[in-house]
Structure 1
């Protein structure tokens, strides 16, 4: 077993060889920050260092000088133009299919309701038992509204949904299947292309939750043939707390799948303000209310860095980070009653790993007190979320070393 000195030397060597190492200095680290190791980038990303300047310029120039004229200057187009950038940088989506708006919960509701309405006569929604709570709750609500049936697939919390499970579950009554591309608890990376193909063979539509994928692993929505997708922007995309979500609607559904929250911004002519709702053509029809313009600024700063780095390079470093975290856990933790609750195979793993032990809720509090910030997920899991643009290998080493000191055999 490598000793601690060997592993620290390896961490320094990995940082030195990291082609993305320059990005770490482009995130904001305020004076007096007490963080030793930030291992929660899969819940909330760090702010970009350029963000304060961007915000100041926007407030003093675009907002302060242009005032309401900013809407017609460019703001009205931001939900789609920012969506196009996001689609290009992180989602594998051609222009005109991604919109930035709402929260993930609201966007999920809108697109799931549109999907089931587009499959009249089919009464079944297929989902899995370990999907993120919002996904399950929203679909439960839609089933109650529309008198539909939920068909649950039992998934292993240490893994995730498989194509074989989906094939056994879907059928002629399936309207919609909804899964996470990367499982929020385990980090399991689903075979989205195969699952989408399987669902389509049954005549069902597919909605992917990309909250733990976007900005961390390559996503190819167009290539998969996905119908719909949603996701948040405050994790690996560094959009900040409460930043707006995104929704994807494949172009083949434009004009046929209609979302249920009819607001003025989704109207064909929003400033006519006349009677009757007539949805805008294309992806703009997914909009409802006024776009959260100020809240998009951190996302734009994050996209600047992601586009510069490239998602393939981000994925390559992500795999090295999780492999190193697994090496540390195997060397220091697994002989002390700690168990791995994530896939060992790199091709089936997203950007985080989860380890579990009965006392990890209490240990998480102690780690936070030491400036080591992972994420706890009930009942007994610590998630180690590693954001490739902002996380160093030495940081991973120091965080796991602190956990090792607290874990007594």
Structure 2
């Protein structure tokens, strides 16, 4: 199956859902750019403002296309790019003029920086009372840690989530994908969409405060609630589930892992039939999930021994035929080649401005009428500066003067 076009749509007359929404993106690295890329995929116009040296991820190794890091290219598609020196008053004036035309401003500065640069909500809302400003920071705008720097792994560690990740008895490890950044970016999208909806009622914008640590603590989910109720401190979760013994990974005869999620009684019975363990469903120790949980130390060796009798693919075929949810542990290469992933358009290509194609991941939000916005090449550094200044009615001679003074590039 070939790679589908990122611009394909079932209804070419419909507009993307956020068409007409203008977003000023002052963020860099991952959390903020991930947020604004999601908004771009939904149709918002994103104007990415960078310093003269650019977003630091433009130079992040190991992979580059036409001198641009794939890290940057992977989180900045479909944006317009502008270079501004916000340390200069004339640079801030450009943002102020742009804010008068915008709906949303996203930043991931530490608290206090936007006020120093005069691009904070208090300043911008005086220019445009409908503006929505969203700041993504490590710890939020207040509290004893507010001014501390934070990164993805820092908040994973502080939140307690990292303590759950890894094999029992081993050292804690961070999640393999940067959930501290990505989930903060996604919650910023949620906050922005909620503020846009509320603005339809009030006519006013507001400030959205997203803390990476808050998001990670919220993601503790039932583990956090279990602790608050019982006082018990959960440890490494390994390949299993704290509540469901048959929600786990087992090694097949070929030493490949088989994941199963037999979390209903019907699935439990089907699992036992597939594993040729017909006596287990009637065993008094395993009659309910609560009993299986209480006797998991006795149950797990039985399941482990059974899975060791055949190879992974045979088990996957048998389990699938009986309706037991199961999966292999795919590599990234396996996942991106998977027929379901390809069918859903989650692997796409973009023509880069400087030539050649780059592979990108698709938009996971599918709507019945509103299409995903067409994917466009991530911007070159300052690619759209002049275009945006002209739209803001800066005359050519003033644009030239701003360039000469290093205000824009």
Instruction: Using structure 1 for the length normalisation, give the TM-score.
Output: 0.25
1 or 2, which has the higher helix percentage? Answer: 1
Bigger CA radius of gyration: 2
